[in-house]
Amino acid sequence: MNPLDLLLTPLGYDFFVRALIASALVGVACAIVGSFVVLKGMSFIGDAVSHAAFPGIVIAYLIGAPIILGGAIAAIGTALGIGAITRRSGLRSDAIIGVLFAGMFALGVAIFSSIPNYVGDLFHFLFGDVLGISVGDLLALILLVFGLLLVLRLLWKELLFSTFDPLGAGAAGLPVRRLDDLLLILIAVTIVISLQAVGIVLVVAMITTPAATAQLLVKRFTAMIQVAALIGVSAAVVGLYVSYSLDIASGAAIVLLETLIFLLALAFTLIRSRIYAARGAAKI
């Protein structure tokens, strides 16, 4: 099969094109928000929030309400709760976040197991259902991602200042606490809208991995975000094609690609620093 066929054949199916667009959007959104998450060391919180969405999703499933709404309520509530607890205790309280994380997820499992359910639905919540994305789902996703990016663009310098130097920013009159909460909400929303593509278990990887890779490679925040977004999009597109060719779950394929890219970047930077060190030693 010639390579062009490999590329074009799947595009002949509407469901694949929708899945491709959705995955790419999710890849970009997660990577951009993930840049803040990685710099602030909030990956654990990201994982906690994605798992905390589960009971919200299950309850929505139970009562027939839109799943994204239930997930959003649970995720945003948990994110803000973690923010409040972190501020109160003064330190990032791993233990308390871990407790919320596990407790919320267990709540979801308990409710799900007690209602008449279809195990395929459970798989969708945990690992995504990108092939089942409808036109309506996609439009909502497009709107939400653009809304997210718009907010980030408008509040860019405030978020940057507040993330980098909360004391300086607060003294300069920026509402640091509210900006922190806003960031938590943006993270929660990004997670929830990404769940359909990659699911609860893997979304933290979509958020963390491209940004962590970018951090290895570039030294300016704006560049970091751009590189992360590029990785997010590329991994999403290629990952979907890989999942098509190899018959494996798309979310997993995307995350595996992102991880591979990270490892390559890591190897590259290690080799590069060896070379610099050798050059430096040679000069002496």
Is there binding between residue 277 and another protein (CB under 8 A)? Answer: no
Q: Site residues for another protein, window 179-218 (CB under 8 A)?
A: 215, 218
CB of 146 to another protein, least distance (A): 18
**Cβ nearer to another protein, comparing 100 with 201:** 201
**Cβ nearer to another protein, comparing 191 with 253:** 253
Segment near another protein (CB under 8 A); pick from 42-50, 143-151, 169-177, 178-186: 169-177
CB of 201 to another protein, least distance (A): 15
Is there binding between residue 171 and another protein (CB under 8 A)? Answer: yes
Is there binding between residue 173 and another protein (CB under 8 A)? Answer: yes
Is there binding between residue 68 and another protein (CB under 8 A)? Answer: no
Is there binding between residue 1 and another protein (CB under 8 A)? Answer: no
Cα separation of 63 and 56, whole Å? 11
Show the site string, 217-256: x = touches another protein by CB under 8 A, - = not: -xxxx-xx---------------x--xxx-xx-x------
HSE (CB half, 13 Å, CA atoms) of 135? 1
Question: Which residues in this chain contact another protein in the complex, by CB under 8 A?
Answer: 9-10, 13-16, 19, 39, 113, 116-121, 123-124, 129, 131-134, 154-155, 157-158, 160-161, 163-165, 167-174, 215, 218-221, 223-224, 240, 243-245, 247-248, 250
